[in-house]
Amino acid sequence: MKKIVLLIGLIGISPIFAQQSENITTENSWFKAGLNVGLPIGDTADFASLTVGVDVRGQHLVTPSFGIGIASGYNHFFGKDGASDIGLIPLAGFVRYYAQPKGFFAGVDFGYAFLTNANDAKGGLYLSPQIGYHNEKWNFYGYYQHTFADNDLDIQVIGLGTTYNIMF
């Protein structure tokens, strides 16, 4: 089932990445780097108490209100009650909708997350919707992160993050 959802998602967003667009400029493309912190929920709260991570992204605005890009980073889950810490390394495409040049935005990351130190689990389908505020230099957002990992490991987090935009 996870593979079917991943395939449908990739087919669904592939036309977005195939669209013709203007040249990359400082007005329509940037690198984003930031930090996030989250609270594990669901079954994840049974073995982890907190997650802290770094976020890196490359984004291109297809239109003034619609951006696409790639995202990665690292999220560290601090184990609790004797459980080992684990790590999550997402590799995802993302889409964002910006209602105005400054203000509200909404988006979603969709891809695969690799797990570190998670016993038999190697990774799984990664989904992370976000909603927040942005201006020319900063993004502040709330997020829900869900990784449907192998071996019935279901990783869920709610949190807050911020990224700084570096124009290129």
φ and ψ at residue 10, rounded to 5 degrees? -65, -40
Residue 14: exposure state from Cβ atoms within 10 A (0-12, 13-18, ≥19)? exposed
pTM, to two decimals: 0.84
The single-letter DSSP state of residue 120 is: T
Three-state DSSP state, 81: coil
> What pLDDT score does 5 carry?
54
User: Which of 60, 85, 84, 81 has its CA nearest to residue 70?
Assistant: 60
Residue 14's pLDDT band (cuts 50, 70, 90) = low
Query: CA triplet 136, 54, 117: central angle to 5 degrees?
Result: 160
Quick: pLDDT tens for 3-12. 555 555 555 5
